[in-house]
Amino acid sequence: MPVPATHVIGRTMKLSPLSVGLLGALVALAEPDHLALGGLPVMVWKASADDNGKAVRAPSVPPARDPSAAVAEEYEVARRQGTREAFELFIARHGDDPLAEQARAELKRLSR
């Protein structure tokens, strides 16, 4: 015998674990831009996508420094120290560099 509708309304409906899981998945996927329960973005790829939706990779290594700038800085350090040892060290490290000629000229000036 069928149960009248008034009797069904007052009862609690039991959900199976599958129903609960599907309901949870729908809630989680309904708004992908919001944070999940763990605090991590549901759609992580959006954080690193350009305007077209393509993933953008950040460079993992910074661009190489200009070697001549490093040599010029070392020459300035030697010139500021103004010692024979500083110029000799610079010449030993960068003997082929054009600034090595200036360092040699400074050495000659110091030995006078």
Is the same domain home to 72 and 49?
no
Range of the domain at 34: 19-55
Asked if residue 6 is part of any domain, the answer here is: no
100 and 80 in a common domain: yes
Same domain, 76 and 106: yes
pLDDT of 34: 53
Q: How many CA atoms lie within 13 A of 33 on its CB side?
A: 0
User: With a threshold of 0.85, does the pTM exceed it?
Assistant: no
Q: What is the pLDDT of residues 68-110, one digit of tens each?
A: 999 999 999 999 999 999 999 999 999 999 999 999 999 999 9
- 83 in a structural domain: yes
Indicate whether 75 and 46 sit together in one domain: no
Three-class SS state of 35: strand
Please indicate, yes or no, if residue 1 is contained in any of the structural domains: no
Total structural domains within the chain? 2
- The predicted pLDDT at position 68 comes to 94
Amino acid, res. 25: A
Q: Which of 32, 55, 78 is the last residue of a domain?
A: 55
Domain annotation covers residue 10: no
In whole angstroms, what is the distance from residue 58 CA to residue 94 CA?
34
Length of the chain: 112
Same domain, 101 and 73: yes
Residue pLDDT, tens place only, 9-50: 555 556 677 776 776 666 666 655 555 555 555 555 455 555
Q: Give CA–CA dist 41/37, Å, rounded.
A: 9
| Residue that wins the pLDDT comparison between 79 and 2 | 79
Residue 4 lies in a domain: no
User: Considering the chain, what is the average pLDDT of its residues?
Assistant: 76
